Amino acid sequence: MDITTSSTGINTSIDTEVKDAFLEYETLKIQAKVIDSRLDELRPTIMNHVPLDEEVMADRGKFYLQSKTSWKYSQSVTDAVEEVDKLKAQEKADGTAEGNTTQVLIYKEITP
């Protein structure tokens, strides 16, 4: 496997251990996407068969329902949040806010 950097277009040969890491990472990211999609498909069926306040045992774990609260705030809070967002944008623009830049690894699948 040769790695080509998009900014320079230069091929960079890498050792087998690093090649394997690239390939494994890529494979796992693609599998994770497929798995997440399948979990989304299965979730409604399973949720419909788990009684409230009970557990359903499986081979290596258990399923149960847990409540999650979503909050809808008053207009005054919504307005205040919007104002804070504007203030944040202004501080970013004028340099008052301090940014902390870190490196993150991104993998984007290229589809033909």
Look at the chain and report how many structural domains it folds into: 1
Q: For residue 44, is it within any domain?
A: yes
For 10-43, the DSSP string reads: -EEE--HHHHHHHHHHHHHHHHHHHHHHHHHHHH
- Give 24-78 pLDDT, tens digit per residue: 999 999 999 999 999 999 999 999 999 999 999 999 999 999 999 999 999 999 9
What is the distance between the alpha carbons of residues 45 and 50, in angstroms, rounded to a whole number?
A: 9
Check whether 86 has a pLDDT greater than 80: yes
* Residue 64: per-residue pLDDT: 96
Does 73 reside within a domain?
A: yes
CA distance linking residue 44 with residue 2, whole number of Å? 43
Bridge partners for 12 per DSSP:
3
Among residues 6, 4, 24, the alpha carbon closest in space to that of 14 is found at: 4
> Mean pLDDT score of the chain, rounded to an integer?
90
Q: How far is CA 36 from CA 33, 39, 66, in A?
A: 5, 5, 20
Q: Is residue 36, in this structure, part of any structural domain at all?
A: yes
Domain span holding position 64: 2-84
pLDDT at site 2: 54
Determine, yes or no, domain membership for 16.
yes
User: Is 80 within a domain?
Assistant: yes
pLDDT at 10: 52
For residue 6, the model assigns a pLDDT of 61
pLDDT band at 15 (very low <50, low <70, confident <90, very high): confident
Residue 89 located in a structural domain: no
